[in-house]
Chain A
Amino acid sequence: MPLRVQRDVKEIEAVLHEILSTASPPVARCRLLSSGFSAGHALDITEDLAGVKACLGCGNCIDICPVLVREPRRRERTEQRTSMALENLVDEDCDRCYACVLVCPQVDTTIKHYIVNRRMIEVMSRIQERIGDEGEPDLDLFLEEALS
């Protein structure tokens, strides 16, 4: 059985860069840039699915998204577990951690490698910035000091 021929990131680097730089869950667009099912994917259906890039609805991206972990009430808006649902639920509040891309079974490994090798340091620094420096001043401590 031949291995699936995956997208060479060099061919799509410009558009991938743009996708990864946008504050919106990137998984669906990364999936569409991927090569879809291979002939080796054994599904109990008669259709030829080779090359189909549709979302499987596995829900991995929904489960891994830190925005939805922090704000679980967002999930109440839909029971769908597709990448489209993720985009609707998170929209521009995306942390750009790329976890959704990394867990998607339909995204090419080449794209995942690109993210890990080229984008992860930036991701770490962005998340650190969001959490705040652990040594950042606690204004409330000063307020208590002033009032006590």
Chain B
Amino acid sequence: MDFTIPEELKMVQTLVRDFVKEQLLPLEREVLGRESDLAGAMQRLTPETEEKLVKMVKDMGLWGVGIPEELGGVGLGTLGTCLVEEELAKTIIPFNFGDVTPILFDCNEEQKEHYLLPVIEGQKHPYLALIEPGKGIDPAAMELRAERVNSGYLLNGRKLSFSKVGTGDFAIVFAVTDPEGGIRDGVTCLLVDRDTPGFTVVGGEERTGWQAQVAEPVSLIFDNCRVPAEKVLGEEGKALYLGKKWLLSRRVVRGARVVGAAVRLLDVSTEHAKSWQSFGQAISTWPSVQAALADMAIDIHAARLMVYHAAWKADEGEDIHQEAAMVKVFADEMLYRVADRAVQIRGGPAPAGELPLERLCRNIVARSAGQNALEVQRAIITEDVLKLRG
């Protein structure tokens, strides 16, 4: 058993750590707002700043860390991607090293040229149109229909997308083509260009100040929108099999992001505990605060080991269904515990001076919107437990 991180991945980890420290952390104040009323707060970086950072990452040779080499990415594998994402998650700055949804990895040659490669290069940005207002992604409840017409499809319905506002050049749309087909055969994925007649994007305006803390989804409206058949991504009816080879390891990568955020919470808490005086001594000398810091460290260590193990297994080509489910359940619940302790150590609502803590906690609550299915993960784990022990 060897727990050593390979040398080349350690180098990447150090590079990213330095990049976060030198380039991203100094931007936090700018993103969070300079005044106590948060009048200058932003949801995103300015395009100029982002462009500059993207160029730096490309120069470092790390743009597209999670994208397979054969598709033009760095191809670091799951463990390498986890190490990078863990470092990036230590800051609240919304920036990544060329994160592309693996759903697009199943593009055919023509679609690759037109969609995937420009997305990898950062020249195009997709709207992921999967969720419907009040419906989630259950195909049985999905209302957006793609009706077969001459040499194409007619789209009618509405989707929500949490993709970056205003920059979407096309939408990756999941639509029902066969209501009887269910999740196996009934949903088709279509690539719809922004300028296609009948396709409009509304809402999701960028806000400033306190409102910048709230990421509002954009609404994608399809009104008799005609899409040619060659825009089908993958096979008709098989949309929910897209990206199958890569999607599960993304769950582990998300676990790494959680670990990174928890590490930052521990750092913020430790710094505060050492510097805040009470009754003439730093609160870090109080046994209760020490115990809280220790519990945070234990939680983070356990989650990190789970993430690295699952990532290593994924890179070995082994099945990680159970491990990925365990990572999701444990890491997400761990982050809540760590955030709760961080707030307890802080001893009250985070004021302007401690905005990273405040934003990190808000991000955690926002994350929980996607965590409504932890019980599903528990069911996946239990299925294996019963098979092994039953």
Please report A residues at the B interface, Cβ cutoff 8 Å: 69-70, 131, 133, 135-148
Contact = CB atoms under 8 A, between A and B. Distances in A.
A137 B369 CA distance: 21
Nearest to A131: B383
A139 B251 contact: no
Contact of A136 (B101, B184, B386): B184
Interface stretch (B7-15, B59-67, B370-378): B370-378
B264 interface: no
Interface in B216-271: 240-241, 243-244, 247-248, 250-251, 254
A69 B386 CA distance: 9
A137 B373 CA distance: 15
A41 B241 CA distance: 58
Contacts of A131: 383
B247 A138 contact: yes
B162 A146 contact: yes
A139 B248 contact: no
A135 B243 CA distance: 12
B137 interface: yes
Nearest to A147: B370
B217 to A, nearest CB: 9
A141 B248 contact: yes
Of all A-B residue pairs in the complex, the 6 with the closest CB atoms, nearest first, are: A137-B240, A147-B370, A146-B130, A141-B247, A140-B373, A137-B183
B254 A139 contact: no
Interface in B46-60: none
Given A137-B240, A137-B241, A145 B101 contact: yes
B204 to A, nearest CB: 14
Interface string B72-108: 0000000000000000000000000000011100000
Contacts of A146: 128, 130-131, 137, 161-162
A146 B163 CA distance: 8
Nearest to A140: B373
Interface string B109-127: 0000000000000000000
- The dominant DSSP class at the B interface is helix
B390 interface: yes
21 contacts: A70-B386, A131-B383, A135-B241, A136-B184, A137-B241, A139-B183, A140-B377, A141-B250, A141-B251, A142-B137, A142-B174, A143-B130, A143-B131, A143-B136, A143-B373, A145-B128, A145-B130, A146-B128, A146-B130, A146-B161, A147-B370
A135 B241 CA distance: 8
B354 interface: no
B138 interface: yes
Interface of B: 101-103, 128, 130-131, 136-139, 161-162, 174, 183-184, 240-241, 243-244, 247-248, 250-251, 254, 369-370, 373, 376-377, 383, 386, 390
A144 B137 contact: no
Given A70-B386, A140-B376, A145 B138 contact: no
Contacts of A145: 101-103, 128, 130, 243, 247, 250
Given A137-B184, A143-B373, A145-B103, 4 more contacts: A136-B184, A139-B138, A144-B251, A147-B131
B314 to A, nearest CB: 14
A142 B173 CA distance: 12
A143 B162 CA distance: 11
Contacts of B101: 145
A136 B243 CA distance: 13
A61 B240 CA distance: 40
B254 to A, nearest CB: 6
Contact of A69 (B130, B137, B390): B390
Contacts of B130: 142-143, 145-146
B22 to A, nearest CB: 26
A139 B377 contact: no
A147 B369 contact: yes
A138 B184 CA distance: 10
A130 to B, nearest CB: 11
B157 to A, nearest CB: 16
Given A145-B130, A147-B162, A135 B244 contact: yes
A142 B241 CA distance: 10
> Which of A70, A135, A145 has the most CB atoms of chain B within a 10 A radius of its CB?
A145
A145 to B, nearest CB: 6
A29 B195 CA distance: 68
Nearest to B174: A142
Nearest to A132: B383
Contacts of A140: 373, 376-377
Nearest to A69: B390
Contacts of B386: 69-70
Contact of A144 (B183, B240, B250, B390): B250
